[in-house]
C-alpha cells in the first residue's frame, strides 16, 4: 500500500470522549470513526485488522468441521414468540415493523433462526452431529455503549450452533469448540484464560467464557492461586458452599426518585439486619460532580476507613466512605448523571435482588470511580472489585488455594444449551428406532470486533499500538528519506516494496511528499503499530544498506539492500 494513495487518518490529539487506551488508539491510528452512540465505521486500516481476525476464526472453525452459513440480520417476531424470548429480551432487542405493520427484530443472536433451519432441514439422527456458524452483524441496544468497539450496539460476532442426538455428543462438540477457541486465541497472540461462566437459568456446569486479561475489562475473574480454577465471579459465588455464601436474599421493590429518606425506608423494607451487621450511610456528592449522587452503603460491621474518606474530601458531609472490603451492597439514586454514566432520572431500582451484590450505584469523583454499578450485567461499572461478596484472599470454591481477582474482557463464550430451544421450538429428529427425539444444542460465540480492541489493550506502549504479527494491518513499513531530492532512494524503496509484496507481506510504503516530514512518518508508523520498519536514505545507499528497526525494540540495525527480503522472511 502506498501512503500517498491511502487514507492515513492518524490524529495527534487524544480524543476527549475516549476513556480506555484501545478506544483512544483506534481513533488516533485512524482505524474507526464514530457514527452515533455504539455505531462505528471501520476505516480501511481498521478493516484490514478485522479481516485478519475473521480469517483466523474462519480457518479454525472450518478445520473443526463446522459449516459456514449466513442468516439474515432481520428476524421475524414469530420465531422469538415461539422460543419464549420475545418478552424476555427487553429493551436490549431492537424491534422493527415492516410496511405491513408486521413485527421484526434486528437479531441480537441467532438461536431461533438456526433452530428453525435445523428443524426443517435435519430429519434423521444420521445427519448429526452438525455445527453451523456465521460471521455476521448483531445489534444489541446496550444501555451504555462504551469503550469504542469493545461494547457497541452494532458489532460483528462469530456465532456457531451445534445439534446433537444426545448429551454425550454435545459434550464432545463442546470440547471440540473449547479446543478450537484456544487455537484461535493462541493464533491471535492474546493473553487469555478460559473461565467457568454462569449458566443462568439453564444450570449445569457447561459454560466457559474466554477472557482476555486487561485492567479495562468489565468482568471480574476469580482465580485460585494454586490450581487452574478460574471463574467469572458471579459463578464463583454461585458454586460456593451454601455455608460460605452471603445469606441475604431480599426482595427489592420499585422505588421512584429515591432520596435519602426514601432510601432509609428502603433499608427497612429490605429487612436487612442493620442493627447487627449493617450500617447505613448517605453520601452526597458536591456540585463538582455533575448532577450529584445519593448513595446508601450497606456494609459489614468494619470500622470506617479514614483514608478512603480523605480521598472523597470533595464530597459534602455527611460523608463517610465505608471500608471497601466491607461493602456488601450499594443502593443508589442518581439525580442527573453519575459522572460519565448518564443514568436516567430517576435511577429506579426495579429488579428482584437475588444476591446482595446485584445492584448498586456509582460516582465519578476526581477522575476516579468509587462505588460500583452492578445492576445486572449491562450496568456493571466498578473499580472496587470487592464490592462483590467474593474478595481476594477468600478460599477458592474449588477447595484449593486462595482467590485472586483479575479483570477480563469477554471475547468468547461457549455454552451447552441442551434442549432449551429445541424443546420450545419442537426441533426433533428420528432416532435409530424411528422415534422422535428432541435435539440437544450447543452455542459458541466470539466477539470479532471486540477482539481488535482487546488485542490493543494488551499490546501498546506510549507511542501507539504494538500489533501481534497475526493481526497487524501491515507487516512492514518503508520510509524513504528525502525522496524528493533523491530518485535513487525512491527507486530502491519501490523495488524493496515490490519484492516484499511479492513475498507475501503486507507492506506500507510511506511515499507521502515532503509536506509530511520524516518525523511525522515515523510517528504514524509507531502509532499504527507496524512491527517492522525500513528506512532508506541516500547515506545508507552509499554503503549499500537500509536501516531496520522492530516496533518493540529500540535498537536499529543496518542490513544490506540485497538481504532485505531474506532477513524479513
Residues in the site for ligand ATP, rule: CB under 6 A? Answer: 109, 140, 142, 151-152, 155, 157, 377, 410-413, 445, 447, 449-450
b vs e for 178-188, b when ≥16 Cβ sit within 10 Å of the residue's Cβ?
eebbeebbebb
Q: Which residue of the chain is nearest ligand ATP when measured via CB? A: 447
CA distance 318 to 237: 33
Residue with Cβ nearer Mg ion (328 or 413): 413
Using CA atoms of 191, 442, 117, 113 in order, give the dihedral in degrees to the nearest 10: -60
Least separation in angstroms between residue 142's CB and Mg ion is 7
Cis peptide, bond prior to residue 129, ω within 30 of zero: yes
With a CB cutoff of 8 Å and minimum separation 6, the contacts of 120 are none
CA distance 527 to 24: 11
Residue with Cβ nearer ligand ATP (410 or 526): 410
Least separation in angstroms between residue 44's CB and Mg ion is 29
Least separation in angstroms between residue 156's CB and ligand ATP is 8
Alpha carbon 109 to chain centroid, angstroms: 16
Q: If contact means CB under 5 to 8 A according to the sort of partner, which of ligand ATP, Mg ion, none does residue 155 touch?
A: ligand ATP
Q: If contact means CB under 5 to 8 A according to the sort of partner, which of ligand ATP, Mg ion, none does residue 214 touch?
A: none
Residue with Cβ nearer Mg ion (145 or 292): 145
Least separation in angstroms between residue 453's CB and ligand ATP is 8
Residue with Cβ nearer Mg ion (239 or 345): 239
Residue with Cβ nearer Mg ion (45 or 446): 446
Residue with Cβ nearer Mg ion (72 or 376): 376
Question: 138 vs 71, 134, 151, 216, CA distance in Å?
Answer: 11, 11, 12, 23
Quick one: cell of 83?
Answer: 422460543
| 159 contacts 130 by C-beta, under 8 angstroms | no
Least separation in angstroms between residue 423's CB and ligand ATP is 20
Least separation in angstroms between residue 32's CB and Mg ion is 20
Name the DSSP class of 215: T
Q: Is the dihedral of CA 29, 212, 328, 146 positive or negative?
A: positive
DSSP class per residue in 146-160: BTGGGB-SEEEEEEE
Residue with Cβ nearer ligand ATP (406 or 413): 413
Least separation in angstroms between residue 146's CB and ligand ATP is 9
Instruction: Give me the residues that bind Mg ion (CB under 5 A), please.
Output: 410, 413
Amino acid at each position: 500500500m502506498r501512503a500517498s494513495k491511502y487514507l492515513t487518518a492518524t490524529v495527534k490529539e487524544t480524543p476527549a470522549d475516549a476513556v480506555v487506551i484501545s478506544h483512544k488508539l483506534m481513533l488516533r491510528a485512524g482505524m474507526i470513526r464514530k457514527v452515533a452512540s455504539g455505531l462505528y465505521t471501520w476505516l480501511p486500516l481498521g478493516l484490514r485488522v478485522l479481516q485478519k481476525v475473521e480469517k483466523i476464526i474462519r480457518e479454525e472453525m472450518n478445520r473443526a468441521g463446522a459449516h459456514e452459513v449466513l442468516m439474515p440480520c432481520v428476524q421475524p417476531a414469530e420465531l422469538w414468540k415461539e422460543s419464549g424470548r420475545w418478552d424476555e429480551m427487553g429493551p436490549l432487542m431492537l424491534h422493527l415493523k415492516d410496511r405491513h405493520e408486521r413485527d421484526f427484530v434486528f437479531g441480537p443472536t441467532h438461536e431461533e433462526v438456526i433452530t428453525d433451519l435445523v428443524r426443517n432441514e435435519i430429519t434423521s439422527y444420521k445427519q448429526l452431529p452438525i455445527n453451523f456458524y456465521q460471521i455476521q452483524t448483531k445489534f444489541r441496544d446496550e444501555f451504555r455503549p462504551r469503550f469504542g468497539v469493545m461494547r457497541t450496539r452494532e458489532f460483528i460476532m462469530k456465532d456457531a450452533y451445534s445439534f446433537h442426538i444426545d448429551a454425550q455428543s454435545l459434550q464432545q462438540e463442546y470440547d471440540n469448540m473449547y479446543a478450537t477457541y484456544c487455537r484461535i486465541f493462541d493464533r491471535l497472540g492474546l493473553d487469555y484464560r478460559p473461565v467457568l461462566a454462569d449458566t443462568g437459568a439453564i444450570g449445569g456446569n457447561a459454560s466457559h467464557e474466554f477472557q482476555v486479561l486487561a485492567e479495562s475489562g468489565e468482568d471480574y475473574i476469580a482465580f485460585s492461586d494454586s490450581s487452574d480454577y478460574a471463574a467469572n465471579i458471579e459463578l464463583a459465588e454461585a458454586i460456593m458452599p451454601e455455608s460460605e455464601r452471603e445469606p441475604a436474599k431480599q426482595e427489592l421493590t420499585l422505588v421512584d426518585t429515591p432520596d435519602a429518606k426514601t432510601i432509609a425506608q428502603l433499608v427497612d423494607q429490605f429487612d436487612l439486619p442493620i442493627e447487627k451487621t449493617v450500617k447505613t450511610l448517605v453520601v452526597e456528592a458536591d456540585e463538582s460532580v455533575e448532577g450529584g449522587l445519593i448513595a446508601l452503603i450497606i456494609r459489614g460491621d468494619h470500622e470506617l476507613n479514614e483514608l478512603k474518606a480523605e480521598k472523597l474530601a470533595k464530597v459534602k458531609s455527611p460523608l463517610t466512605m465505608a471500608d471497601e472490603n466491607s461493602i456488601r451492597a450499594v443502593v443508589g439514586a442518581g439525580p442527573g448523571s453519575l459522572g460519565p454514566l448518564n443514568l436516567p432520572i430517576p435511577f429506579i431500582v426495579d429488579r428482584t435482588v437475588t444476591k446482595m451484590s446485584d445492584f448498586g450505584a456509582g460516582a465519578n469523583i476526581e477522575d476516579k470511580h468509587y462505588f460500583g454499578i452492578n445492576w445486572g450485567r449491562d450496568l456493571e461499572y466498578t473499580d472496587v472489585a470487592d464490592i462483590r461478596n467474593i474478595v481476594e484472599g477468600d478460599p477458592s470454591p474449588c477447595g484449593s488455594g486462595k482467590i485472586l481477582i483479575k479483570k477480563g474482557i469477554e471475547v468468547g463464550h461457549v455454552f451447552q444449551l441442551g434442549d432449551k430451544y429445541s424443546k420450545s421450538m419442537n426441533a426433533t429428529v428420528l432416532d435409530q428406532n424411528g422415534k422422535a427425539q428432541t435435539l440437544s444444542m450447543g452455542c459458541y460465540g466470539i466477539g470479532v470486533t471486540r477482539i481488535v480492541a482487546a488485542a490493543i489493550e494488551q499490546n501498546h506502549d506510549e507511542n501507539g499500538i504494538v500489533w501481534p504479527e497475526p493481526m497487524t494491518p501491515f507487516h512492514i513499513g518503508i520510509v524513504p528519506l528525502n525522496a524528493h531530492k533523491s530518485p535513487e532512494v525512491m527507486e530502491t524503496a519501490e523495488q524493496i516494496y515490490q519484492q516484499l509484496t511479492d513475498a507475501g507481506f503486507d507492506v506500507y510504503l510511506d511515499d507521502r511528499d515532503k509536506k509530511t516530514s520524516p518525523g511525522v512518518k515515523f510517528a504514524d508508523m509507531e502509532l499504527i503499530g507496524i512491527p517492522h520498519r525500513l528506512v532508506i536514505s541516500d547515506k545508507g545507499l552509499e554503503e549499500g544498506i537500509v536501516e531496520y528497526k522492530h516496533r518493540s525494540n529500540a535498537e536499529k540495525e543496518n542490513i544490506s539492500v540485497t538481504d532485505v527480503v531474506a532477513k524479513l522472511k
